[in-house]
Structure formats: C-alpha cells, structure tokens
Amino acid sequence: MARSQSKELERKKFFADPIMVTTIVVLIVFLTLFILYPLAILLIDSVITGEGISLSVFQRVMGMPSFRRAITNTLKVGFLVGILSALIGLLFAYVEEYVQLKTKMLAGLFKVISMLPVVSPPFVLSLSMIMLFGKAGIITRYLLHIYDNNVYGFWGIAIVQTLTFFPVCYMMMKGLLRNIDPSLEEAARDMGASRLKVFNTVTLPLILPGLGNAFLVTFIESIADFANPMIIGGSYDTLATSIYLQITGAYDKQGASAMAVVLLAITLMMFIVQKYYLEAKSTATLTGKASRQRMMITDKSVTRPLTAFCLLVSLFVVMMYICVPLGALFKTWGYDFHLTFKWFQMVFTRYKGFKAFKDSFLLSLIASPITALLSMIISYLVVKRSFRAKGFIEAVSMLAMAVPGTVLGVGYIRGFSAGVFRSGFLQSLYGTGTLLVIVFIVRSLPTGTRSGISALRQIDKSIEESAYDMGADSFRVFMTVTLPLIKDGFLSGLVTAFVRSITAISAIILLVTPKFLLITVQINEFAEKGSYGIACAFATILIIITYGSVTLMNLFIKHFGTSREIKEV
C-alpha cells in the first residue's frame, strides 16, 4: 500500500493556492528568524569560542559562585511560588464553585482579583510591597513601628510573585472544578463519606493533574520573571536578573549567552512536562460537563474560615494595588502625607512623560493588530489545514511560550546587533522601533495563538468546508468565514496583545535604545532609584490606560459580539 498518489495530489492542490503558500512561507521565515534563530545563536555563541567548539564558557559561568547561587535561588523561589499559587488558586476556585457565598461582595472581589494581574504591569506589586512593608513602609513603620524591616530578598520576591501569579491558577482551577460532575461527589456523600473525605478521595484525585499543571505554569512564570526580582530582590539574584547584570554590568555577552542557555534549558524542560504530560492528563480526566447545578456548601464551619481567608487575601491584594495611585498622590511617601499632583506634573514636565506614553502606546498599538492577526492565521492553519510545515509552525509558536523574556532579549542582542550571523544582514534593524515591535509580537504571540486555537476548535469544520466547496479560496474562506466567526477571540486577542506589549519589560529592557522611552522601563528605573512617587505616577497612568482598553473591549464585545449567535447554532 502506498499513499503516494494522495500525497502528491494534496501537494498539487496546496500549491494551487498561492496566497496560502506565501502566507506559510512568510510565517516560517518570521518564526525562524525571530524565535528560533535568536535561541540558536545563544547556544552557538556559548559553545564556539576562539579555539573552536568547547564548553569552556559554561565552565566559566558555572564556576561563578554568584551564578550557582542564582540557580538555586531561582529554583527555590519558583518552587515555593508554584506551590503557594496553586494552593491559594485552588482555594479561591473551590470557594467560588462550592461554597454558598452570603454576599455578592466576595464574588465581585474575585472578579477584580482575576482581572488585576491582566491589566497591571507585572511588577507593581513589588512597588507597593516596598511602600507598605519596607523601611519607610506605612504598615511596618507607622502601624507596627518596625524601623528596619527588610522586604528585599527571598520572601519579598516569593510573596509578590505569589500574589501576582495565583489569579492565573485560580482561573485554571475554576475551569477544572466546573467540569466535575456533581453527581460524582454526591454519590460519595450518599455512601457515607464526610465532606473532607469526599474532597480527599474524589475531588482532589480528579483535579490533581490540573493542580500539578497550575504549579508548573506558575513555576515557569516565576523563573522567567525579571521585573519583580529586579525591584524587590535586592542582593538576592535570580537567573533572569543575573543575566541582565552580566550584560549591563559586566559587559560579558558571551557569559550572558551561556547563562541564558541554562535558564532556557530549565524552563523548556518544565514546559515540555507541563505541555505534553500534565496538560493532556488534566483535561483527559475531566471531559464530562456538569449535568446540573451543584449543591453549594452552606455548613458554617466550612464556609466561614474559607471565605474569611479568601476575603483577607483579596483585600490584601486590592490594598496593594490601591497603594500605587496613593503613592503617586502623597508628597513624600512615608513622611509627608499631604496630597499633591506634583509627581504627575513631574512625569510630564521633567521626565518626558508624553514621549514615554507616546512611544509605548504607539509601538504597542502597531504590534497588537499584527499579533492578533498572526495568531489567528497560525491558529487557522494549525486547526483547519494540513500541510507538511504545520508541525513546525505549531511547535515554534508554542516554544515561544517557554522562552523567558530575558533569554529572548539576549538572543536578539547576540543575533542582530551585528546582523544575522554577524554578517551585517538586517543589522539596520537593531535599535529600531521595528525590532521592539517584533519583540512585542513574539512575546504575545503564544497567548494569542493558544486562545485562537481553542476558539477555532469550537467551530464545526464543515462550515469552512462548505464555503470552500461553494468556490471560495483559502484567503476568502479565512476573511469571510473564519475571521467573522472568531471576531470575539480576535478582539480580545487584540487587546491582550496591546496590554501585554505596553506592560512588557523583560526582553525590552535589554533592547531599548535612548531613542525610545518606554513606560515600563521608566517605572523600573525610578523604582530602582527609590523615586517611588514618580514610579507610582507612571504606573497609575499605565494601569488606567490598560484598564480602559480592556473595559472598552468588553463593552464592544457585549454590543457587537457574535459569540452568542454561534453558540446556539
């Protein structure tokens, strides 16, 4: 038996569609040049030295005690943050799905909590942590009268990262718990198991792979995080900050490349376990839809402690976020609590605030539609078409998810500052806004692609086939059928890409040139200098921008969305 004729025919049919062929070729070039190549050059750079191929650079960096310490630091923080986030996330999800809430307030709080990390720059919690619990912290200094509290270091990073990342776990666990058929637990209750027993023997085993999945996702996020350790780490270096300092402080680009390879290897390993083992397992055990409403727990001995805990955590997080605009309004944080607009004024007068917002806004605005469109095209190709390079496109766009921004930044420096393979080709790209836009795109592409894929999987394949059958070519099918059907997904992809771009820092900070002022870089700079008023003023305006765009999107989808119509078909 041979399937050669059908393969040959499929090939001919494929090449009869020039727009699709061009799209795929462009995609492959883009993914190779801006994701694969920068990573490859890191590996190449760190093994090829003056005297040929050797591991001497690795030996050198591994010989640095500070780097070895950074590895253990990173893993320690990641492990703790992963566990804490997964557990707190699970608790929140459990309370939302299982516990009868007395007031609407907590439900509202939960919504805010799940929204905050999306709209805020990833490191504002570090800022507020310092302002609340640092040496001049309101809580430590004025409420508790502790004058030498040290928030910097392991615990600072761990707490801030946990508070930043647990909402992601909460959303993941919520989805899983919702898919548990209540009759499974009721059957166990019916046979005489206590609530605790039911949780331990039914609920927990069902969600265990999902919990592991949430743990690993957070672990990766924590390891890749740059800004929080940068601001609140103090002398406690992690891999991401070590790499940054190796470049900006020690000017050792080759050493930084080797370090980046080490960081990439760690995240990649985790990612592979998470993606191909846990993710499949966690959804495989829970495919059933809940057959009916769950009987909520009303037992006060259960509801009270659980809701109290969630309420405390939520209020704490909200307080941390409120601290940011307050910090921008007080004259001198920690000493002079008179209200003032001087920080906001200074942002725009002395610190070129307009230029910073214009640059950030413009670059993100250019990047987001390209990202949204690219991720929809990739999702369309992955879900609806079959061709030989499909595996490559899918794998590389998913791979980008596992690449920490710092690693990508170093890769771009090594890969483009002297042109591709030091040939001078594309060297003119280096230092331009175009390259920054490309970084924004690459950084948001995986999220967009992932949501695009799940949106497209919901659409019956025959709808597109019917359009194809009526005489539309691939391009027309995509424009007149696919895109309109996932309009909502496209819009939210657009806004997510925008928000991610305008709040991005890790890769950007390594690549930005004085020509461009970016808000996040400014915030980072002023926070490091200890000018919290200015940093807070920048951050407040940034949060307003991102929150505004998300709200606008939701309003837009509510009024012009298509999802309702599609679901009913």
Partner 1 sequence: MAKEKKGVRLEHISKIYLDPKTKKEFYAVKDTTLDIEPGTFVTLLGPSGCGKTTTLRMIAGFESPDEGEIYLGGEPINELTPNKRDTAMVFQSYALLPHYNIYDNVAYGLKLRKMSPEVIKEKVTNILKLVGLEGMESRMTNQLSGGQQQRVALARALVIEPGVLLFDEPLSNLDAKLRVTMRTEIRRIQQEAGITAVYVTHDQSEAMAISDQIIIMNKGVVAQMGTPQEIYYHPNSEFVADFIGEANFLKGTITAKNETNGTADVYGNTVELHDIADRSVGDECTLVLRPEAALVADEGQLPCDVILSTFMGSYQNYHVMVGDTLVKITDFNPKNKKIYAVGDKAFVKFDPDSVHVI
Residues forming contacts to partner 1 in the complex (CB under 8 A) are: 1-7, 9-10, 12-13, 16-17, 460, 462-463, 465-473, 476, 480-481, 484-485, 562, 565-566, 568-569
For 197-226, give one letter per residue: b (16+ CB within 10 A) or e. Answer: ebbeebbeebbebbbbbbbbbbbbbbbbbb
C-alpha 191/C-alpha 18 separation (Å) is 64
Whether 414 contacts 233, CB under 8 Å = no
Whole-number minimum distance, CB 262 to partner 1, in Å?
38
Whole-number minimum distance, CB 294 to partner 1, in Å?
29
C-alpha 452/C-alpha 450 separation (Å) is 5
Residue closer to partner 1, measured from CB, 7 or 388? 7
Token look-up 């402080």 returns 249
The half-sphere exposure of 385 on its side-chain side, counting CA atoms within 13 A, is 28
Fill in the amino acid letter for 252. Answer: D
C-alpha 237/C-alpha 143 separation (Å) is 30
Whole-number minimum distance, CB 161 to partner 1, in Å?
41
C-alpha 168/C-alpha 351 separation (Å) is 34
Residue closer to partner 1, measured from CB, 417 or 562? 562
Tokens of 108: 């509202």
Residue closer to partner 1, measured from CB, 149 or 563? 563
Whole-number minimum distance, CB 457 to partner 1, in Å?
15
The sign one gets for the Cα dihedral 224, 227, 230, 231 is negative
Token look-up 């406690």 returns 236
Pairing of strands 48-49, 336-339: unpaired
Tokens of 516: 């461009």
Whole-number minimum distance, CB 385 to partner 1, in Å?
12
Residue closer to partner 1, measured from CB, 6 or 291? 6
C-alpha 569/C-alpha 119 separation (Å) is 33
Residue closer to partner 1, measured from CB, 51 or 565? 565
Whole-number minimum distance, CB 22 to partner 1, in Å?
16
The half-sphere exposure of 513 on its side-chain side, counting CA atoms within 13 A, is 11
Whole-number minimum distance, CB 278 to partner 1, in Å?
22
Whole-number minimum distance, CB 467 to partner 1, in Å?
7
Torsion region of 419: left, alpha or beta (phi above 0 gives left; psi -120 to 50 gives alpha) = left
Whole-number minimum distance, CB 372 to partner 1, in Å?
18
| Other residues' Cβ atoms within 10 Å of the Cβ of residue 361 | 17
Residue closer to partner 1, measured from CB, 256 or 376? 376
Residue 263, classified by CB atoms within 10 Å of its CB into exposed (0-12), middle (13-18) or buried (19+), is buried
Residue closer to partner 1, measured from CB, 2 or 191? 2
Whole-number minimum distance, CB 21 to partner 1, in Å?
13
Residue closer to partner 1, measured from CB, 3 or 338? 3
Residue closer to partner 1, measured from CB, 12 or 104? 12
Whether 270 contacts 224, CB under 8 Å = no
Write the DSSP string, 438-453. Answer: HHHHHHHHHHHHHHHH
Residue closer to partner 1, measured from CB, 179 or 563? 563
